[in-house]
Amino acid sequence: MTESSDRRIEHLLREHAPRVLGAILRKFRDFGASEDAVQEALLAAALQWPRDGVPDDPRAWLIQVASRRITDHVRAEAARRHREELVVSLVPPELQLVLPRDGDELAGRDDALVLLFMCCHPALTTASAIALTLRAVGGLTTAEIAKAFLVPESTMAQRISRAKQSIQGSGVPFQKPTPEETAQRLGAVLHVLYLIFSEGYTASSGPELHRTDLSGEAIRLTRMLHTLLPEDGEAAGLLALMLLTDARRAARTGPEGELVPLDVQDRSLWNAAMIEEGVALISATLSKGSLGTYQVQAAIAAVHDEAARAEDTDWPQILALYGVLMGLSDNPVVALNHAIATAMVHGPEAGLELLKALDAEGRLEESHRLDAVRAHLFERAGRHAEAVAHYRKAAERTTSLPERNYLLTQAARLNDTR
Amino acid sequence: MKMKYMLMMNSPREGAGGILHWPKEDIQAHIRFMVGFAKKLRETGELLVAEGLAFPDQAKRVRAGADGKPITDGIFPESKEFLAGYWIVEVDSPERAYDIAAEASAAPGRGGAPLNMAIEVRQVMSGPPPDMM
């Protein structure tokens, strides 16, 4: 069996995992048992399909195998407790053999959505929600998730099992969320997907390969969410933001894994197809009204991506968009980026003035970012001694190795030419 | 029988922040060396873990107070040597661990000259020694 066909099967399994789990969960109610059964079915498929070929209806196959596993488990459990009769009443015999086809495409779609909302349940910690989403909706194995987050597999297994217990304990029924519930909890779902993407995109440590998989997975899940909720502007905005950011991946790091900042990236390495898709998506979304932070961030990313050369960047437009973003979100990092955009439009001294205001608030005191930006603006203003001092201060404070290497090199470059 | 060793890199004599004041070329040569070194050890299958540590002025010394709550001090007291990073390798013999440590020790410093920094090599304990089993 060729590698590409293995990859195709893997892709197929990930596509089907959430809907299969949704269908099983709807029938058997028990989150933990359903999830285990689906994992077993996925594993069986991964072993059998490459050998015997992919069945005509992969989802029906998976649902049937998972159902059989779960009834087997229930039966084994019951046998131990001598409660055969109960099993018979719990699981009708016809259900043990063939499940009614999930022919209703809409039901399948709703199942995936319900599952996504369950996994991003407010009762869960963010870390648990991320792990559970990747496993239940993304169909990743515990080992894969553990590897991506650089924690031992046992730790991740515990995190996932605790998350499942919390959901079971919360008594949230498996059903389509009401429009109010959707609105309330969509924020958490988007946030979890955004964090999965960031984890993959930052690649601050560890073997990069797994991290790359993670941002690809985040894009896939967000694409799914956007398909399920095509009218939601923020879901579309987040997908656009991911596409427009990920499009720059190849240009973001140099041969030794060092960071390459946006303004000196080789733009011929950017992924034109992703940029085109992201720009089309955000343009269509922005024209619909109701603005959210992901949409504005996507719009900013689009302005960057549409410039053929760094010096062609439409900074006045970016500055205006950061102004909008400041109105929507009280985030000091947004204020920091606003200061950078201001410097690009009105000169570095104007940017440095805004940083003073941030100093006064003290909210970024602990962050090396303020120093890094200050260093950059001092450099642009020709105040090299101050720039070197702040590059060094930022280098001392960052906990990201590629970033530290970048900042050290900046300080040294400027110091050498002084 | 494979043995595990922890190779602890202490900061060079000029202090942990010394690299802040190196010329650009030297910093780049040092980074290139360290990246290549880790890659090589990963390829031989000998590297288990390698981590660099944040600069010492980010460090806190923690101990439990009378109530069991953590007490932290601001900055470490003055000391000539700081742990800058470490590798954990799995090798066939202690000599191989020393060889690896010597290679790391010779990482290029200012002006490209080898740093010859001290690398402390200590075996990682794992299970009882063979003759007790």
ipTM attached to this prediction? 0.71
- Whether B63 is covered by a domain: the verdict is no
Distances (CA, A) of A158 to A120, A142, A185: 17, 10, 25
Picking from B17, B24, B31, the nearest residue to A256 by CB comes out as: B31
Judged by CB atoms closer than 8 Å, whether chains meet at A412 and B24 is answered as yes
Q: Which of A75, A101, A127 represents a domain boundary (last residue)?
A: A101
Picking from B19, B24, B55, the nearest residue to A413 by CB comes out as: B24
Distances (CA, A) of A178 to A92, A181, A378, B53: 30, 5, 52, 49
Give A-chain residues touching B58 at CB under 8 angstroms.
Answer: 396-397, 399
Helix axes A105-119, A208-228, angle to 10 degrees: 130
- Whether A382 is covered by a domain: the verdict is yes
Give A-chain residues touching B41 at CB under 8 angstroms.
Answer: none
Instruction: Specify the pTM.
Output: 0.74
Number of folded domains that form chain A: 2
CATH number, domain of B85, equals: 3.30.70.1060
At B109, the pLDDT band (50, 70, 90 cuts) reads: confident
Judged by CB atoms closer than 8 Å, whether chains meet at B31 and A412 is answered as no
- Whether B133 is covered by a domain: the verdict is no
- Whether B132 is covered by a domain: the verdict is no
Backbone angles phi, psi at A348, to 5 degrees: -60, -35
Picking from A257, A395, A409, the nearest residue to B28 by CB comes out as: A409
Give me the pLDDT at residue A211, please: 62
- Whether A222 is covered by a domain: the verdict is no
Give me the pLDDT at residue B103, please: 92
Give me the pLDDT at residue A385, please: 95
- Contacts of residue A68, defined as CB under 8 A and 6 or more positions apart, other chains included, come to A96
Domain that holds residue A366: 315-418
- Whether A40 is covered by a domain: the verdict is yes
Give dist(CA B89, CA B93) in Å, integer.
11
For the beta carbon of residue A202, count every other beta carbon within 10 angstroms.
14
Domain that holds residue B13: 3-57+70-126
Give me the pLDDT at residue A372, please: 93
Q: What would the pLDDT profile of B65-99 be if each residue is shown by its tens digit?
A: 778 777 776 555 555 567 888 999 999 888 899 99
Give dist(CA A219, CA A197) in Å, integer.
7
Give me the pLDDT at residue A72, please: 83
Give me the pLDDT at residue A248, please: 93
* Chain A contact residues (CB < 8 Å to B): 205, 256-258, 392, 395-399, 401, 405, 408-409, 411-413, 415-416
Give dist(CA A320, CA B131) in Å, integer.
73
- Whether A8 is covered by a domain: the verdict is yes
CATH number, domain of A396, equals: 1.25.40.10
> SS3 breakdown of chain B: % helix, strand, coil, rounded to 5?
35, 25, 40
- Whether B131 is covered by a domain: the verdict is no
Q: Which of A77, A101, A125 represents a domain boundary (last residue)?
A: A101
Residue of B nearest to A396 (CA): B55
Q: What would the pLDDT profile of B2-50 be if each residue is shown by its tens digit?
A: 889 999 988 766 666 788 889 999 998 998 898 899 889 988 989 988 8
Size of interface A-B (CB pairs under 8 A): 43
Number of folded domains that form chain B: 1
Sites in chain A below the pLDDT cut of 50:
1, 83-84, 86-88, 91-102, 204-209
Residue of B nearest to A255 (CA): B32
- Whether B80 is covered by a domain: the verdict is yes
Picking from A205, A258, A392, the nearest residue to B20 by CB comes out as: A392
Judged by CB atoms closer than 8 Å, whether chains meet at B23 and A415 is answered as yes
Q: DSSP readout, B43-97?
A: HTT-EEEEEE---GGG---EEE-TTS-EEE-SSPPP-S--EEEEEEEEESSHHHH
Give dist(CA A346, CA A316) in Å, integer.
9
- Whether A292 is covered by a domain: the verdict is no
Q: What does the block give as tokens for B36?
A: 């290549």
Q: What would the pLDDT profile of A167-184 be if each residue is shown by its tens digit?
A: 888 777 777 778 888 888
Judged by CB atoms closer than 8 Å, whether chains meet at A396 and B20 is answered as yes
Q: DSSP readout, A326-367?
A: HHH---HHHHHHHHHHHHHHH-HHHHHHHHHHHHHHTTTTT-
Picking from B17, B19, B54, the nearest residue to A399 by CB comes out as: B54
The residue written with tokens 């053999």 in the block is: A97
The residue written with tokens 């970033």 in the block is: A403
Decide if A251 contacts A265 (C-beta within 8 A): yes
Residue of A nearest to B50 (CA): A206
Q: Which of A47, A71, A101 represents a domain boundary (last residue)?
A: A101
Give A-chain residues touching B31 at CB under 8 angstroms.
Answer: 256, 258, 405, 409
- Whether B64 is covered by a domain: the verdict is no
Give B-chain residues touching A401 at CB under 8 angstroms.
Answer: 52
- Average pLDDT of chain B? 81
Decide if A42 contacts A17 (C-beta within 8 A): yes
SS3 A32: helix
